[in-house]
Amino acid sequence: MWHPVQRAKAVEGAVGTSTVANMMNRDHMRAFFRRAAALVAFVALLWAVHLLNWIIGYGLNPAFGLIPRHVSGLDGVIAMPLLHGSFAHLMANTPPLLVMGGLLVATTTRALLPVNAVVIGLGGGLVWLFGSSAIHIGASGLVFGWFGFLVARGFVDRSLITLGAALVVGVLYSSILWGVLPGQSGVSWEAHLFGAIAGAGAAFLIRTHVHAPRLGGVDLD
């Protein structure tokens, strides 16, 4: 039988643990909403840039698009995802950006910036080195990078959450893999291919933090 003092301490400890858990959950939710807001802001930025680009007759594309093996086109490694050739082009990229981006912000925490840095930097760098002589624009390289990352991470991390995200992406967007093949007029298949490679590479290079158990009982964090 517990002494009253011991019982009081046990209750106090349980309440304290519950309070800490609630605070952590609130912190996770606030962080998730910040990441989700950043994703929506990024997509809104794409539309704002495209509207400006359309008004000036798509003059931003030759000025800031990625031009392989030209120093003047090297800034396109960063700018390429922001530029599109038409409203239809941007509309085609918007849903997968929101869906895959949503899966990223829901299942990835501190690794978001490094993952995107690898996808944009490595993927865009490979296009600059090996891409065809043209002006490469569009966020589809980022889309393929997120696709490659989400699928590869499921097999690398082996948690229920990451495997589930990989399954959702695979079911919804596996058909986009045809986009890595050459021969499609007006399509930067190199951006698709190298984006997917960079995303898969990021899954192996960068440890993500998902608050769920791995298969086999090994925690991710």
Per residue in 181-207, pLDDT (tens digit) is: 887 788 899 999 999 999 999 999 987
pTM of the model: 0.82
Pick the CATH number of 4-205 from 3.40.50.12160, 3.40.50.300, 1.20.1540.10, 3.40.640.10: 1.20.1540.10
How far is the C-alpha of 23 from the C-alpha of 82, rounded, in Å?
37
Over range 78-97, report the average pLDDT.
96
Q: Which residues fall within 8 angstroms of residue 55, CB to CB, at 6 or more apart?
A: none
Report the pLDDT value the prediction gives residue 2, as an integer from 0 to 100: 52
Report the pLDDT value the prediction gives residue 207, as an integer from 0 to 100: 75
Residue 220 pLDDT level (bands cut at 50, 70, 90): very low
Residue with tokens 């997917």: 196
Report the pLDDT value the prediction gives residue 44, as an integer from 0 to 100: 98
Residue extents of the structural domains in the chain:
4-205
The DSSP H or E segment spanning 212 is none
What are all long-range contacts of 184-187, with beta carbons under 8 Å and residues at least 24 apart? 186/85
Over range 125-139, report the average pLDDT.
96
| pLDDT at 19 exceeding the cut of 50 | yes
Report the pLDDT value the prediction gives residue 55, as an integer from 0 to 100: 97
Report the pLDDT value the prediction gives residue 215, as an integer from 0 to 100: 41
Bigger pLDDT: 158 vs 115: 115
| pLDDT at 211 exceeding the cut of 50 | no
Over range 89-95, report the average pLDDT.
96
Looking at residue 176, its amino acid is I
Neighbours of 118 (CB within 10 A): 20
| pLDDT at 210 exceeding the cut of 70 | no
| pLDDT at 1 exceeding the cut of 60 | no
| pLDDT at 213 exceeding the cut of 50 | no
Q: What region does 91 belong to: left with phi over 0, alpha with psi -120 to 50, or beta? A: alpha
| pLDDT at 143 exceeding the cut of 60 | yes
Bigger pLDDT: 216 vs 201: 201
